[in-house]
Amino acid sequence: MNNGDNTAIFSTDIGFIALNGSVKIKILDFLKGGCRSFDEIVQHTGKAKSTISVHLNDLKSQNLLEEATDVHDKRKKVYFLKCQYVACSQEPGMKHYGEMLEVIGSPDMNSFGCLKCLFHAVQYGFRAHGVNCDPIMRKIGNDVGASLSRNFVSNEKGQILKEMMAFWEEHDIGSFKVLSHDPIKIAVHNFFDCRSIPIKEKTLCSFAQGVFEGVFKEKLGIECIMQMLGKCDDDCDACHFQMILL
């Protein structure tokens, strides 16, 4: 969940919580897939039952998860999330942020579009100050996708994708190609000019990922994730995603 970073930040009903413990973060990551029993959590983490019991109590006290009685076995408890994963820490890096600010201060900004450049600058700015905001960008992408879905008429996967393609082209969002319909595999090209803006590090994959998830969840009434296939970097031509049903 936090990709080896030192601290993960979660949003709860009572505010933000920052966690440093890798076991606690691993538990919360496991619960993203739904309710889990105590024994399942123990098996997943590989830790002693007494250790997991302490961690679960700590997470409950921080309002990060909740305990309930298993409907299939009243003697057992299950645990589920009460939080949203927001961000994690990373080593600060000013280089790409500085490069983006140089673009904004040059005539090149006109060719890329002012709003797109500012959007990229916000992403690079977070990273420059040691915050990897991919999780919250994905969540925002989910919300944006759910709202965008109101522009689409169809409730069938193939037709939804066709409507999305036309919408993206009309509004200069980028483009994507459907590689497979079963399962759905998509190659996203130049999302918000991420390929043409001359910055080495790419930042918008998680946002694009969330947009697709939001559209499909809203239009199809399913729980799914768009799993990224491979690592997005300066050498790749597109971001590849595959739908995984939950």
DSSP string, 175-197: EEEEEEETTEEEEEESGGGTTTS
Mean pLDDT across 62-91: 90
Which tens digit of pLDDT belongs to each residue from 21-63? 789 999 998 998 788 999 999 999 999 999 999 999 999 999 9
Contacts of 142 (CB under 8 A, 6+ apart): 210, 211, 213, 214, 217
20 — pLDDT class (breaks 50, 70, 90) = confident
Contacts of 150 (CB under 8 A, 6+ apart): none
CATH architecture of the domain with residue range 133-245: 2-Layer Sandwich (3.30)
Mean pLDDT across 66-79: 89
Which tens digit of pLDDT belongs to each residue from 139-191? 999 999 999 999 999 999 999 999 999 999 999 898 999 999 999 999 998 88
- Here the tokens at position 74 are 């009243």
Residue corresponding to tokens 């960008």: 137
- Here the tokens at position 92 are 């600060």
Say if residue 220's pLDDT is above 90: yes
E strand residue ranges, the chain: 8-12, 15-19, 36-37, 65-70, 73-81, 84-89, 131-132, 175-181, 184-189, 224-229, 239-245
pLDDT at 231: 65
pLDDT at 209: 93
pLDDT at 236: 62
Contact 105, 64 (CB under 8 A): no
pLDDT at 51: 95
How far is 104 from 121, CA to CA, in rounded Å? 9
pLDDT at 202: 65
How far is 142 from 212, CA to CA, in rounded Å? 7
How far is 242 from 55, CA to CA, in rounded Å? 33
Say if residue 2's pLDDT is above 50: no
pLDDT at 14: 84
Contact 192, 144 (CB under 8 A): no
Class of domain 8-86: mainly alpha
The answer to which of 84-98, 167-181, 197-211, 215-229 has the lowest mean pLDDT is: 197-211
Whole-structure pTM value: 0.79
Mean of all residue pLDDT scores within the chain: 88
Say if residue 4's pLDDT is above 80: no
Say if residue 7's pLDDT is above 70: yes
Residue ranges covered by each domain of the chain = 8-86, 133-245
Strands 224-229 and 73-81: unpaired
How far is 36 from 75, CA to CA, in rounded Å? 14
